[in-house]
């Protein structure tokens, strides 16, 4: 699904940004039980069903990468 104004990154682009130490935060929007089975190291678990009510938990001043 495409969202106007929101760029899509390939897995390689995400890895490059993380490897470069860019000012990024990865947000995993899957259920906590799925997150617990495996995730990107350092990712924030914020299930999509709670996202809108939890926006204040997202770090400010960072590029947010959602998956």
3-state secondary structure of 25: strand
Q: Return contacts of 58-66, CB within 8 angstroms, 24+ apart.
A: 58/25, 58/27, 59/25, 61/23, 62/23, 62/24, 62/25, 63/17, 63/22, 63/23, 63/24, 63/25, 64/24, 64/25, 64/27, 65/9, 65/14, 65/17, 65/24, 65/25, 65/26, 65/27, 66/27, 66/29
Q: Work out the average pLDDT over 10-26.
A: 88
pLDDT at 33: 96
Predicted pLDDT of residue 4: 84
Domains of the chain as residue ranges with CATH: 11-66 (3.40.250.10)
- The mean pLDDT of 13-41, rounded to a whole number, is 91
Write down the pTM of the prediction.
0.83
Residue 61 has pLDDT above 80, yes or no: yes
Calculate mean pLDDT across residues 11-39: 91
How would residue 5 be classed by pLDDT, with cut points 50, 70 and 90? confident
């Amino acid at each position: 699904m495409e969202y106007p104004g929101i760029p899509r990154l390939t897995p390689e682009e995400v890895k490059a940004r993380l490897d470069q130490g860019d000012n990024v935060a990865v947000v995993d929007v899957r259920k906590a039980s799925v997150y617990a089975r495996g995730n990107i190291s350092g990712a924030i678990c914020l299930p999509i069903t709670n996202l809108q009510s939890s926006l204040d938990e997202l770090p400010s001043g960072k590029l947010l990468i959602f998956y």
